[in-house]
Each structure stands twice: as structure tokens, then as C-alpha cells.
């Protein structure tokens, strides 16, 4: 038994409420931050903002539980922290699609807006050009410091080189084609 | 407990890929089920409650999604391909664009969406057919408008232009 019967009964609900609560607070801090400042290197800043906010909520709950009659189940609190970080990591993985338009989602959006008459393939090809499909992502990589722009050329930073090598090695380990 | 399920998920997914028993997507589906099964098998352990089990499964599903996204990124992400293209040396804008064919990128994605039943092609015109990816698109657009105050719905303009 890693908790008493009453602790266990309150544990699951406490985990879900505190875990989601901590993530919602962290998400709101992120929204306020992004609306207030021009954020560069968004990936790193996003991870920092979410982690610190979740940490503050969890420690705040711990501190409050010393004075208020709040449930104090260490296992459930650890589980809640894990849940909040799991939500945060899942959001961080989804965030690039929010920041830079994903071609697949844009295609779906345009087709949905065309409605019942539909749309021709050629119209999509005219709309979604190289600038939109490629250079928007290059700019995003410069912003994220995976790539630097110097003397009219784009080159990988050590961070970008590590990412490229990680994916090449990982996909080779899985015996998959290069991908991308 | 969720990490036990994740370990099973990881081992099954890697084994299926390395032994070429399944493609990337199918290997993730089977591994997801194996990991969830391993967590559900602990149902009778002492101190396990329905709420606790639900929390464990939720954490497991979220981390499984992260692992799937990492592999999916390696498969389809333009940033991974760009990073690979830039690894041998620096490139100008024109050199980067020369390596990509916008029509090919669009056609490849349209074909994947048709195969997945999300859109349909009739008499040379494309129509929305499924709701799953469209729902994701709506959610992403809502997030954009919430997070970026100066967000101008470029897609809306592009759609009207088209």
C-alpha cells in the first residue's frame, strides 16, 4: 500500500484536478506573455514559462495545504505534477503547428472555406507557394536558433546540427528512410 | 505506472520497426495498445482506484502522443528536412527553394488526405469529406487567435484569393 484507503480514494480526483489546474494556469501565463511581449526563441521560452508556472502552482498548493484543509497525498501530488508536465510537453510538441501554418491544415482550411462548389488542385497550388511552404519554416528555424542567416546564406547552428543528426541517427536505428 | 506502460510502448514500437513487422504508424498503434494493456493489467494491485487508473492512463496517453510526434516529425516535418539539407553546408534562399517543389509538397499532402478519407476528389474538384483533421484545423486557428494578438488569418485571405 503506498497510501491509506482514504488518501487513495481522494488521490485520483486530486491528481486530475491539480494536474489540469496547474497546466491551465501555466497556459494562461503563456498566453499573457505571448500577447504582451515579442518572443524570440519561442521553443525554449515556452518550455521555461510552462515549467516555472507549473512549479509555482504545485509549490503554492503545498504551501497552502500547510494552513488550509486541503488534501495532502504525496503520491497523488507527484502524479498531479507528472500529469501537468505531460500536458505541457504535449502542448510544446503541438505548438509549432500553431506558430507556423501546417500545409496539411491550411489545405483542409481552404477546402472547407470553398464549401459545396469545392476547389481545384491547381487553385491550391497557386495559393500555397514556396514562400509559404518553405521560407516560413526557414524563418521559424532562424527564430528558434536552429539556423542563422549570415552573408546571404542560411547555415545550421550547433543546435540545428544536433537536431539534424539526432533524426538521421534515430531513423537509421528504426531502419526507416530519411524522412522529412 | 504510466512509465511502465511507456517502456512497453517504446520497446514494442522499436522492435516492430527494426524487425520491419509494421510501418511507422501501425507500429505506434500496436505499441500504444500494448502499453495501455500493461497499465490496465495492474488493475488488481492494492491501492489502485478507478480515478488513479484514469490519471495513469491519461499521463500514459499524453507521453505516448509526445513519442509519436517525435517520430512523426522525423517522417514529415519540413524543419527536419531543411536541417538535413543544410547540414553539408550553408545555402542561399534560391538554393533552398531549388530543392523544394511546392506542387509536389501540396499534391503529396492532398493524396494523403484523400487516402485518409478526410477530403474527396470529384470531377477534378476537392471537397471536405471527414471531420477529424478539420476539427484539429479549427482548434489550431482558435489557438492562433488567442495567442497571437496581431494574428491575421492569412489562410482566410488566401482561401478568398483562390
**Is A7 a residue whose pLDDT tops 60?**
no
Q: Which three cell numbers stand for residue A50?
A: 510552462
Is the Cβ of B78 closer than 8 Å to some Cβ of chain A? yes
Nearest to B83 among A104, A118, A146 (CB): A146
State phi, psi for B131 to the nearest 5 degrees.
-115, -10
Beta bridge partners of A149: A154
pLDDT score for A24 = 97
| A174 vs A91, higher pLDDT | A91
Q: Which three cell numbers stand for residue B6?
A: 511507456
Residue B92, number of CB atoms within 10 A of its CB: 12
Residue B88, number of CB atoms within 10 A of its CB: 8
Stretch B101-122: mean pLDDT: 86
Convert the pLDDT of each residue in A130-179 to its tens digit. Answer: 777 888 888 888 888 899 998 889 999 999 899 888 888 888 888 877 65
Residues of A in contact with B56 (CB under 8 A): 79
pLDDT score for B100 = 80
Nearest to A12 among B49, B103, B121 (CB): B49
Residues of A in contact with B17 (CB under 8 A): 174-176
The pLDDT > 90 percentage for chain B reads 23
Q: How far apart are CA B142 and CA A8, in angstroms?
A: 38
Find out whether A156 and A172 touch, Cβ atoms under 8 Å: no
Q: Parallel, antiparallel, or unpaired for β B125-128 and A147-150?
A: unpaired
Mean of pLDDT over chain B: 83
| Sign, CA torsion B54/B64/A97/A89 | positive
pLDDT score for A6 = 55
pLDDT score for A10 = 53
Q: Which three cell numbers stand for residue A111?
A: 477546402
Is the Cβ of A94 closer than 8 Å to some Cβ of chain B? yes
Q: How far apart are CA B78 and CA B83, in angstroms?
A: 8
CB within 8 Å: B89 and A155:
yes
CB within 8 Å: B158 and A106:
yes
**Is B159 a residue whose pLDDT tops 80?**
no
State phi, psi for B92 to the nearest 5 degrees.
-80, 170
The pLDDT > 70 percentage for chain B reads 88
pLDDT score for A69 = 73
**Is A5 a residue whose pLDDT tops 60?**
no
pLDDT score for A60 = 92
Is the Cβ of A42 closer than 8 Å to some Cβ of chain B? no
Q: How far apart are CA A9 and CA B95, in angstroms?
A: 62
| Sign, CA torsion A57/A58/A62/A65 | positive
**Is B156 a residue whose pLDDT tops 60?**
no
**Is A180 a residue whose pLDDT tops 60?**
no
Task: Kindly state the DSSP code that residue A115 receives in the 8-state scheme.
Answer: -
Convert the pLDDT of each residue in B113-152 to its tens digit. Answer: 898 888 888 888 999 887 888 898 889 889 988 998 765 4
Q: What is the pTM of this model?
A: 0.80
Residues of A in contact with B50 (CB under 8 A): 12
**Is A2 a residue whose pLDDT tops 50?**
no
Residue A89, number of CB atoms within 10 A of its CB: 18
CA dihedral B37, B42, B43, B47 (to 10 degrees): -150
Amino acid at each position: 500500500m503506498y497510501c491509506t484507503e482514504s488518501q487513495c480514494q481522494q488521490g485520483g480526483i486530486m491528481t486530475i484536478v491539480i494536474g489540469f489546474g496547474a497546466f491551465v494556469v501555466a497556459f494562461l501565463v503563456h498566453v499573457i506573455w505571448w500577447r504582451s511581449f515579442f518572443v524570440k526563441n519561442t521553443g525554449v521560452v515556452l518550455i521555461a514559462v510552462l515549467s516555472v508556472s507549473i512549479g509555482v502552482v504545485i509549490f503554492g498548493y503545498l504551501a497552502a495545504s500547510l494552513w488550509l484543509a486541503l488534501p495532502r497525498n504525496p503520491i497523488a501530488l507527484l502524479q498531479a505534477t507528472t500529469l501537468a508536465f505531460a500536458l505541457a510537453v504535449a502542448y510544446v510538441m503541438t505548438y509549432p503547428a500553431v506558430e507556423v501554418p501546417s500545409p496539411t491544415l491550411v489545405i483542409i482550411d481552404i477546402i472547407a472555406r470553398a464549401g459545396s462548389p469545392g476547389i481545384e488542385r491547381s487553385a491550391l497550388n497557386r495559393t500555397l507557394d514556396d514562400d509559404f511552404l518553405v521560407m516560413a519554416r526557414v524563418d521559424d528555424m532562424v527564430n528558434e536558433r536552429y539556423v542563422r542567416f549570415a552573408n546571404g546564406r542560411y547555415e545550421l547552428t550547433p543546435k540545428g546540427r544536433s537536431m539534424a543528426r539526432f533524426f538521421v541517427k534515430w531513423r537509421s536505428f528504426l531502419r526507416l528512410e530519411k524522412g522529412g | 505506472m504510466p512509465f511502465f506502460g511507456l517502456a512497453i510502448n517504446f520497446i514494442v514500437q522499436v522492435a516492430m520497426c527494426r524487425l520491419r513487422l509494421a510501418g511507422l504508424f501501425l507500429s505506434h498503434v500496436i505499441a500504444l495498445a500494448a502499453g495501455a494493456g500493461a497499465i490496465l493489467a495492474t488493475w488488481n494491485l492494492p491501492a489502485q482506484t478507478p480515478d488513479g487508473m484514469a490519471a495513469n492512463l491519461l499521463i500514459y496517453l499524453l507521453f505516448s502522443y509526445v513519442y509519436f510526434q517525435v517520430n512523426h516529425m522525423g517522417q514529415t516535418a519540413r524543419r527536419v528536412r531543411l536541417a538535413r539539407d543544410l547540414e553539408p553546408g550553408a545555402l542561399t534562399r534560391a538554393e533552398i527553394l531549388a530543392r523544394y517543389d511546392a506542387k509536389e509538397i501540396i499534391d503529396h499532402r492532398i493524396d494523403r488526405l484523400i487516402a485518409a478519407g478526410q477530403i474527396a476528389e470529384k470531377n477534378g474538384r476537392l471537397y471536405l469529406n471527414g471531420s477529424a483533421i478539420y476539427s484539429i484545423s479549427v482548434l489550431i486557428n482558435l489557438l492562433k487567435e488567442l495567442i497571437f494578438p496581431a494574428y491575421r488569418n492569412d489562410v482566410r485571405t488566401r482561401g478568398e484569393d483562390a
